[in-house]
Amino acid sequence: IVHISTVGRNKMRISWVTDDRNTPSVVEYGESRGNYTASATGDQATYKYFFYESGAIHHVTIGPLAPGTTYHYRCGKAGDELTLRTPPASLPLELVVIGDLGQTRWTASTLAHIGGADYDMLLLPGDLSYADTQQPLWDSFGRLVQPLASARPWMVTEGNHEAEALPVVGFAPFVAYNARWRMPHEESGSASNLYYSFDAAGGAAHVVMLGSYAEFEEGSAQRAWLERDLAGVDRRRTPWLLVLLHAPWYNTNQAHQGEGEAMRAAMEALLYEARVDVVFSGHVHAYERFTRIYDNEADGRGPMYITIGDGGNREGLALKYAIIGRSH
């Protein structure tokens, strides 16, 4: 069960799960099939959830890698050879954005559609496996997305279905998600895997992945981190500034009305002042696109807000909309 993610300017994290706890956390790689000219070692861990114990979850960072280059790699010194392509070092950059994916026949259709595209990176604003405490569903989700997620970096942030918190029996939230889908939060100065940022296309794009389910109020660690992160973006060299989060701040669908409002109130001004270009969200199982907006008014300097939560999960589509003209 393999997926990859981008780390820093020119590295990739290879993440995979094995039943055998003795499998070495080693990735061998090179630019020719079967000819591995480099290798890297990482770490492994397991987690328990009720009677479930995960396989060994390995994370290995490989690189430095050349941009826009195909590499062949093998995990654990055994098994099948896989192939990845690194993102380009400059624009154009082709991104796939899809939320609330799940693992249904609709999901399979979405993945087939993505598989037919020649894209560079996938961004997912939360709700991945819909395991919802049924831990083997994390494994089946990994197998379902592996053909795509092992070939291009998948950059994700958490949704409500990743929480799986059971405080009565002492299960902290996001245990499985954090163990399996480690993102480059440390590299972006974030203390939490639930929010982070990264550069793409040689710094021409800066992508901020916010956490709808981490504290975001004034005085919170996430808000302080976001302020620092946005202050570090030089728009002269970074013309594109993108933000992803799970629960939409603007939404005329009847589903999940108002659930993003507190976060909007806490953070929207920061995004506006930084001149963010576009904000993608999920949560609502539908597609919706707003004009550029700020504080519930059309504003040409505000971001465009796009809901893209129709990835195919088992809960189906959200088809009912509020009265046209309402924006919150």
Residue 24 sits at the vertex; the CA angle it makes with 21 and 29, to the nearest 5 degrees, is 140
Q: Can you read off the two tokens belonging to residue 128?
A: 């991945």
Q: Please, are residues 141 and 131 in contact by the beta-carbon 8 Å criterion? A: yes
Given a contact cutoff of 8 angstroms between Cβ atoms, the answer to whether 179 and 47 are in contact is yes
The Cβ of residue 54 has, within 10 Å, a number of other Cβ atoms equal to: 20
- Is the peptide bond preceding residue 92 cis, with omega within 30 degrees of 0? yes
Q: Which alpha helices (DSSP H) does 202-260 contain, by range?
A: 221-231
Tokens of 324: 């046209």
Nearest to 145 by CA among 154, 158, 155, 156: 154
Identify the sign of the CA torsion 109, 278, 182, 195: negative
Rounded Cα distance between 162 and 132, Å, is 7
Q: Tell me which residue of 179, 149, 174, 155 sits closest to 164, measured CA to CA.
A: 174
- 265 contact partners, CB below 8 Å, separation of at least 6: none
Dihedral (C-alpha) 230, 161, 215, 224: value to the nearest 10 degrees?
Answer: -10
Q: Which two tokens stand for residue 63?
A: 């690189």
Note if 72 is an active site residue: no
- Please state, in angstroms and rounded to a whole number, the distance separating the CA atoms of residues 141 and 177: 12
Q: Which of 58, 256, 283, 285 is catalytic?
A: 256
By annotation, the residues acting in catalysis are 256
